[in-house]
Chain A
């Protein structure tokens, strides 16, 4: 009897061993093929022609983002934007002749799953990571990729800690930067003296911006008269928050959250005859595309954005056109960030003279050094450069909605635009009163 049990355990162990070993060798396989390719390349370069050697290789770039669940819309946009850029680069001859291959893994907007996705990419042989898309997964991936020394560029991880380590860079603005820039813009352009803020206290992005905004507001020439929070469970009714803002006499309401909720806020504010200036952040981009939303309500809405699909700029128009043909929808800023991210990796790889046969760790060292040298003329900014801290250096665009369309406010006449906005609101008020 006892022998039988022992035998049973041994058998189970054996079966598990076989299956695990199967996984192991499966994971090793790409590495093995790489080695094969390496030797082949060495052979070729011995022959003298270096470009041939490079042309034989493939750069493996891994992507991490939510493809399922509540945040899937961001992850899918990033995936599409990145794939579009990869396709263009490959068609134009690749990076120094080497093609790019991208493998995009789902993280379900969960830190633990993001680490699993990262490990999957590592097994696949990823040489650089574009991700993660959302903040908490990004922080988790950042710490493991730092241990492995794999280069990481997040298109849209806005939390401060996303680029804590020196191997991590980002394309988007950080949360505090958006908050500070918003407060500065409102203060410097004299948009209002009494400001109310409504934010999502259960969301990292929203609270991050609000906190920085509130801190900077103390240095600016306006007063925060009301700060009202809501949570992801109660994001359909904003009448309480709006009423408080109205009672406090707010002339401007700061809305640091995504457009889907902002559309409701604008709707409900119109319903209670409250017409301040509304000011948003980059999450506001896309509000005019909300189904059933009266675009007239968004008139004079001002927001900071790195990307506007209607901009007349040639690069942007080409990107928007290609994206619409490929995926049948207008790209949002996530897609744009990812598109620029891939081009940034390309530029850094060219600057660092990276070849596909280098190890991910060597590539990381080269890219880290190259990131501070490169300048990108991308769709989210002109003359986009990076600091060694991982932060991008670019000017936020100020976008104002007028006549149902986005319009970029030039910095020179922004003050005039701002004043105009206030006047318009007043005009609207008087019109209503009549």
Chain B
């Protein structure tokens, strides 16, 4: 055990942290010692943690700023909710249905990631950020004009309105344009969410520390040098981008199966959400996976725990966000923290 190398140990701490939190929350829930507000936040928390970790793969490891992450989440959410709604009667066992929904959501978001990645990853820096932003908006707007209905003759599609679907009398509108999908079965649970977080962490951490991960980081650090030693730039970039996209799709599945209604609005699938996820990543530390997990938890809980302040809630939230950013990342604050940490360590040594 003593011979565990440093990365393994660090990874185990990350897994351990999630598991400990899970056990703790489960214990509190079963003891009834937890407010229903917090209980209701558990599942969204899982979705946000997965989003933050997956975006960190693009931003931190691949080193490309992506502002369209909510778009992939949207793809995962809508495809899986569509599947679950259609199959609600055909597959009555919620576990099986949810498992398939997760696979479908992840696959569709991943495919979208590849399709978008091929043209977009030819750009870099600010240009890539703007193009991904545009992509996220396109996804949201397409979902908003999409009408899909089902009757005994099969599926009907339209981009105009429900009337032009031409449904028979007992037909059912499944995707209703801006009204989205209502009545998705609520299959998301905290336990499944935590398992998905662990799987996400496993995929991302193993990718980072694998041969491919080192190639991806080499591209980030110096593209020309990486190319000169024979690393296939397009392949590795696309790999990181599509894995990141499909994990965002998984987060979308959790999100969609937690609420009875799913609509694509700027607030939940537009650039607001993309920026929000980026804030998680930046606050937690770019390239720091464990930091993303913690930042996602803190920033999701914060506005809810501030509800007591009523009218000043969003103001205080913004102020706290600025203060936390400064405390975490301003060079002076880092120097100050290090100074105190070393003093603390010295004291300990002297005491020993």
| Interface, chain A (partner B; CB < 8 A) | 2, 5, 9, 12-13, 16-17, 20-21, 23-28, 67-69, 105-106, 108-112, 115-120, 122-123, 135-136, 139-140, 142-144, 159, 161, 164, 201-204, 207-208, 210-211, 214-215, 227, 231
Contact = CB atoms under 8 A, between A and B. Distances in A.
B261 A136 contact: yes
Contacts of A139: 182, 260-261
Nearest to A27: B35
B40 A119 contact: yes
Contacts of A143: 186, 259-260
Contacts of B38: 20, 23-24, 27
Interface residues of B, number: 51
11 contacts: A12-B17, A16-B21, A21-B28, A24-B33, A108-B267, A112-B255, A112-B259, A119-B39, A123-B37, A139-B182, A143-B186
Given A120-B307, A202-B144, A214-B163, A9 B267 contact: no
B177 A106 contact: no
B276 to A, nearest CB: 12
A139 to B, nearest CB: 4
Interface in B250-296: 255, 258-263, 265, 267-268
A140 to B, nearest CB: 5
A70 to B, nearest CB: 9
Contacts of A123: 35-37
Given A143-B259, A227-B161, 13 more contacts: A16-B24, A23-B305, A112-B258, A115-B40, A116-B40, A122-B36, A123-B36, A136-B261, A143-B260, A161-B261, A201-B145, A210-B161, A231-B144
A152 to B, nearest CB: 13
Contact of B259 (A13, A122, A140): A140
B25 A20 contact: yes
Contacts of A215: 163
Interface string B91-134: 00000000000000000000000000000000000000000000
Contact of B265 (A2, A16, A110, A214): A110
B212 to A, nearest CB: 29
Contacts of A9: 13, 16-17, 20
A119 B35 contact: yes
Contacts, number: 139
B17 A207 contact: no
B75 to A, nearest CB: 18
B35 A111 contact: no
Nearest to A116: B304
A170 B38 CA distance: 28
B350 to A, nearest CB: 17
Interface in B5-30: 9, 13, 16-17, 20-21, 24-25, 28
B162 interface: yes
A28 B330 CA distance: 40
Given A17-B24, A140-B259, A159-B179, A116 B267 contact: no
A201 B144 contact: yes
A227 B163 CA distance: 12
B161 A142 contact: no
Given A9-B17, A13-B24, A208-B179, A106 B313 contact: yes
Contacts of A108: 267
A211 B33 contact: no
A5 B263 CA distance: 44
A2 B1 contact: yes
Nearest to B9: A5
A206 B45 CA distance: 33
Nearest to A13: B20
B42 to A, nearest CB: 11
B267 A211 contact: no
B180 interface: yes
Interface in B155-177: 161-163, 177
Contacts of A13: 20-21, 24
A111 B177 CA distance: 17
B48 to A, nearest CB: 10
Contact of B263 (A17, A25, A67, A111): A111
Given A12-B17, A116-B41, A25 B260 contact: no
Contact of A23 (B35, B144, B313): B35
- A-B pairs, 10 with minimum CB distance: A27-B35, A143-B260, A139-B261, A119-B40, A24-B33, A119-B37, A119-B36, A123-B35, A24-B34, A122-B36
B34 A161 contact: no
Given A24-B34, A112-B268, A120-B307, A204 B178 contact: yes
A120 B38 CA distance: 9
Given A24-B28, A139-B260, A204-B263, A211 B35 contact: no
Contacts of A112: 44, 255, 258-259, 268
A89 to B, nearest CB: 22
B37 A27 contact: yes
A117 B268 CA distance: 16
Interface in B237-260: 255, 258-260
